[in-house]
Structures are given as structure tokens and as C-alpha cells.
Amino acid sequence: MYELHPEDEMLHLTLMDGQARVLLCETTRMAQRCADIHHTTPVCTAALGRLMTGTAMMGVMMKGEGESVSVTVKGGGPMGTLVAVAEQGNVRACADNPRVELPLKADGKLDVGGAVGHEGRISVVKDLGMKEPYIGQCELVSGEIAMDFANYFTVSEQQPSLVALGVLVNGNAVLKAGGLLIQPLPGCPEEIIDQLELRSPMFADISREMTFAPISQLCEDWFRGMEPRILERTPLDYRCTCSRDRMEKALISLGRKDLQSLIDEDHGAELVCHFCRNKYSFTAEELTALMDGSKGDNEK
């Protein structure tokens, strides 16, 4: 064991003098934090960990300050809807039901596809700081998440991609989590693509590989002879951006009628953030102040 708890980070690489782009990341801490917040069962730890890892990759590809991406997976499985949001390296996630328990698959792996379901869609909303966000979506392939990201990149963004995502779980502990994205860039020769496909079994079980070597070593091993060059490293973290201010805005957006019923019937409100489970309490007086300060155009 080389290091017990290295920081999560994303490596940005090129291969063969820029003919292909690679993102390779460790997300162990992020997946553990998510498991601790949502008290996930192992299969849900894996599903959310994979989703966050894929979303982190999209997040670091967006360079602008304040840009964010949210990925929603709705597969009709018992976990319900899964959501992950990334603002560069800061990621957060939640699911309708993070306590799903399913038997292991025949190969001994967690049945992520069974928990997520595969009758539905993966939707991506990129907030680029402009008025209209970019929205893309496509059908789920398997609900196993990695294949669904690969298919999304290929179909919806016309960018052929190889994606590996893995979360190695033991009970409540995340032993290793991480992901790999390889994208041949325009003009990349066919031999290089073939070469990458030939090597893909090496990174199929990425989280287990990560128990043997740090990711910087793995990228040297996996891409030997293909001139792997690390251009950039981005720290990754599970981080929520909720605040009392945002919760106030959410309350105001309910409109006067619903606010009044919170005041009359519940004598206050307690909001819980879906992503970090932080609680925000509002007294009836505070709700009244919000209502008086709010504009009448929210009236329902």
C-alpha cells in the first residue's frame, strides 16, 4: 500500500503529442464523503461514486469561472433519480433512495445497473454563465454509468470516448474510487485508436488497479510507448454550495400562498439540503419577513 489516503485529484494528459486527450482521476475521498452523508448501501455508494466521477470529468473540462454541470440519471430502478453537480473540481450528489439493497451479480460485482435501472435517460445541463444553459441527453445503455457516459459523449456530443469508472467498496468503506476518460481528438490516426482499444482491458477494473499503484504510476503503465504527458492536475473535493441565502430564495419562489400555509399550519419551516443534509430552520416571523420582502409576482 503506497499511501493510505491520498488527496483526490484529476490528471489531465495528452497521448502521442496531443492526438488523444486523457482524464484520469482518484475520487476515493469524494465517494466516501458522499457515502457518509447519505448513509448509502454499498451498491448505492458505487452508483453515486461512479456518477460523481464521470461528472467531475465533465466539470474539469469546463474552464470558465462559475460554470457548472449537472448530470441526472433516471433509469427506472429502485434508486430513483440520481443527480451529481460539478463546479470544476467541486462535486456533490444525491439520489432519491440511497438505501437500496440488491444481491451481488453472478460475477460477484455490485449490481449498479439493477439499482439504477436502464429504462430511461442520462441528461446533462451545462451552465456556461450565459442565459440559456446547454442541455444534452440520451438513452441509458445499461445503468452501469460508465457505458452510459461513453454513449452520451459519443451520441450527444459527437465525441467518441472510452470511459472506465470504478468504486471499490467494503461495507461502509470506500477502498478506492476513480475514473478514466480517453478521447481521440480530430485527426487521430486509426492505429492509435486501435491501440487504445487493445489496452482497454487493462483499465476495465480501475478501482482495483488503483489499490496497487497511484494514478500517476498507472498512467505511465497503461500508456507506455504512447508519450503520456501530464498537462495539469486539478484537486477534487465533495463540496456543497448551499447557504441560508439560497434556501431563502427557494422559500420565496414557493409563492405567498404556500409561504402563508407554512406560517399558519407549520409555524415555521425546516429545509434540508439534498446534497449535504445540512438543515436550515426558519421561524414563522422569519417566513413572514421573507414574504413581505418578496415580490407579489410570485403569487400563485
Instruction: Tell me the C-alpha distance between 46 and 112, whole Å.
Output: 7
| Minimum distance from residue 241 beta carbon to Zn ion (Å) | 7
Span interacting with Zn ion, options 7-15, 51-59, 133-141, 273-281, rule CB under 5 A: 273-281
How far is residue 157's CA from residue 163's CA, in Å, rounded to a whole number?
14
CB of 93 to Zn ion, least distance (A): 11
| From 115, 240, 262, 263, residue interacting with Zn ion (rule: CB under 5 A) | 240
- Does residue 276 belong to the site contacting Zn ion (CB under 5 A)? yes
In the complex, what is the shortest distance from the CB of residue 276 to Zn ion, in angstroms, rounded to a whole number?
Answer: 3
User: Do residues 29 and 88 touch, judged by C-beta distance below 8 A?
Assistant: no
Interface with Zn ion includes 93 (CB under 5 A)? no
- Which of 22, 242, 251, 287 touches Zn ion (CB under 5 A)? 242
Complex with Zn ion: residue 173 or 250, whichever CB lies closer: 250
Separation of alpha carbons 98 and 64, rounded Å? 32
Quote the cell numbers at residue 225: 510507448
Query: Rounded to the nearest whole angstrom, what is the least distance from the CB of residue 36 to Zn ion in the complex?
Result: 14
Site mask, Zn ion, residues 31-50, x = CB under 5 A? --------------------
β-bridge partners, 167: 177
152 touching Zn ion, by CB under 5 A: no
- Among 8-16, 182-190, 218-226, 240-248, the segment contacting Zn ion (CB under 5 A): 240-248
Least separation in angstroms between residue 265's CB and Zn ion is 26
In this complex, which beta carbon is closest to Zn ion, that of residue 180 or of residue 240? 240
What gap in Å lies between CA 97 and CA 39, rounded to an integer? 10
The C-alpha atoms of residue 112 and residue 48 are separated, in whole angstroms, by 9
Q: At what angle do helices 244-252 and 284-293 cross, to 10 degrees?
A: 70
Determine the interface stretch with Zn ion among 1-9, 81-89, 148-156, 238-246 (rule: CB under 5 A): 238-246
Binding-site size, Zn ion (CB under 5 A): 6
Using CB under 5 A, pick the residue from 188, 269, 273, 290 that binds Zn ion. Answer: 273
Residue holding cell 483499465?
A: 203
Q: What share of the chain is helix, strand, coil (3-state, %, to 5)?
A: 35, 30, 35
| Cβ-based nearer residue to Zn ion, 19 or 278 | 278
Beta-carbon count within 10 A of 33 CB: 21
Q: Smallest distance, Å, CB 281 to Zn ion?
A: 15
Among 13, 275, 287, 291, indicate the residue that binds Zn ion (CB under 5 A).
275
User: Concatenated DSSP letters for 173-222?
Assistant: EEEEEEEEEEEEPTT--HHHHHHHHHHGGGGTTHHHHTTTS-HHHHHHHH
**Does residue 84 bind Zn ion (CB under 5 A)?**
no
Region of 113-121, 128-136, 207-215, 236-244 interacting with Zn ion (CB under 5 A): 236-244
Q: Is 50 helix (H, G, I), strand (E, B) or coil?
A: helix
β-pairing, 279-283 with 81-87? unpaired
- Chain residues binding Zn ion by CB under 5 A are 240, 242, 273, 275-276, 278
